[in-house]
Amino acid sequence: MLFNGEKIMKIRNTHIILIIVYLSFVALGIPEGAFGVAWPEIRGEMGLSLEWAGLMIMLGSAFYVTISSQMGRLARRVKLWHLSLTGLILMIVGYTIIALSPNFIILVSTFALTGTGMAMLDSSSSSYMAKAFTAREMNWLHCFWGLGAALSPILMTRMILSFNWRWGYISIVAIQGVIAILLLFGLFKGVWKKEERRLSRAEITAQDLNITQNFLTKPWHKFMPILIFFLYGGAEFSTGFWISSLLIDGRQMYVGVAGMFPAVYFGFIMVGRMVFGIWANKYSDATLIRVGFVIAFVGLAILMFSGVNVPLGLSAMAIIGFGFAPFFPCMMHDNSNRFAPDSITKMVGYEMAAFGAGTSILTSLVIGQFMARVHIETLIPIVAIFALSAFLLNETLEKIIKKNM
């Protein structure tokens, strides 16, 4: 009976941890879709040109990349739970300043703070899930990021139509504040300490199970997933960020309608990760990525020719989001199959840094410049090129792994 009671307590503690970590990813995702919707209003109020958004993205991403690349070192000195909570607090402070910023200088400088917070929360939670849970939980973790990212364009659109973009960010801060209280609750109740012991046991078990496995060790093997995340980061983020500008500035669509497009996109990333999470323990990560990319390319083709047809365009965004859904969590979880257990946290940090660099460099310096200087419709074909390149590199890496088995 005592054994059963201890087992029930462990299961309940694990469920509490999962709920808290999932909610933290809602807080991480909820600003993602908001900025793209708010940007036409922000630049109109402050008299800025379209490509100035790139500077803000690059600054936030520079700090995101720097912190993510150091996660291996930080995790040896600071507990993952403390990194998650600190990251969320930094995000709350940053978005509060954004909501109150009187000019562009203060607005852009605050992205350094939010980029740092996002890196700490994202990398620590993803590293923890890659070590302690299966591909199913990893997909569902990023499903909750999709939930937050899907809610934010809707929330921001409603606030713009009713008040202004500043109230949109105030609403985001309020939601993040509630989730931060839950993280503190878990810290004070000691559930993190219990989970820390479980995580240690999981790492030891992983080392025992994989002691005879041939892991990838060559530097260029480790560089390939980093390059994949760089390319995919540009494809995923650019689609959600620039779609509002494409529709409002390029296709002359009403802001209330255009705001639905990123919401549908991020919403179906969420739905896709929930669905692919159900299949994740039955099929390999590589198989799910293949299926997803075929679906995404179909959606990109439809979006390219949808014009101002709103139902067709929304359907295309849904298909793209569903197709992109498994890539990030499956690639992240595949670290446990490709690299030794003691290298996972470091690899996750590098991959998150590469993803952040992709969202910055490819979104602003490549796609943003092409849209501003060549044609705003170049968004879709360039996203397709980045996504295809990431997919082909992952297929190459998969062949290398099979040869090493």
- Chain mean position to CA 229: 11
**Poorest-confidence range of 2-6, 79-83, 130-134, 241-245?**
2-6
Is residue 27 within a helix (H) or strand (E), and if so which, with residue range?
A: helix 2-29
DSSP string, 105-151: HHHHHTHHHHHHHHHHHHHHHHHHHHHHS-HHHHHHHHHHHHHHHHH
More confident of the two residues 30 and 387: 387
CA angle at 280 for the pair 229 and 303, rounded to the nearest 5°: 55
Distance CA(131)–CA(335), nearest Å, equals 9
More confident of the two residues 133 and 318: 318
- DSSP, res 363: I
Quick: pLDDT tens for 67-82: 877 766 776 676 767 7
Confidence (pLDDT) at 209:
47
Average pLDDT over residues 4-28: 67
Confidence (pLDDT) at 151:
83
Residues 245 and 370 sit within 8 Å (Cβ to Cβ): no
Proportion of the chain above pLDDT 90, given as a percent? 15
pTM, two decimal places: 0.71
The CATH number assigned to the domain with range 2-404 reads 1.20.1250.20
Confidence (pLDDT) at 75:
65
CA-wise closest residue to 29 among 381, 325, 357 = 325
Please, which pLDDT band fits residue 5 given cuts at 50, 70 and 90?
Answer: very low
Distance CA(172)–CA(30), nearest Å, equals 7
CA-wise closest residue to 186 among 51, 23, 360 = 23
Distance CA(111)–CA(98), nearest Å, equals 8
CA-wise closest residue to 391 among 267, 287, 262 = 287
Distance CA(301)–CA(387), nearest Å, equals 13
For residue 361, which phi and psi values (nearest 5 degrees)? -70, -50
Residue 316 has pLDDT above 90, yes or no: yes
Please, which pLDDT band fits residue 294 given cuts at 50, 70 and 90?
Answer: very high
Confidence (pLDDT) at 78:
66
Please, which pLDDT band fits residue 286 given cuts at 50, 70 and 90?
Answer: confident
Residue 252 in tokens: 């002359």
Q: What is the mean pLDDT of the chain?
A: 79
More confident of the two residues 42 and 52: 42
Distance CA(356)–CA(366), nearest Å, equals 15
Average pLDDT over residues 235-260: 82
Per-domain boundaries in the chain: 2-404
More confident of the two residues 177 and 192: 177
Confidence (pLDDT) at 330:
84
Residue 254 has pLDDT above 90, yes or no: no
Cβ neighbours of 313 (radius 10 Å): 24
Residue 378 in tokens: 């170049």
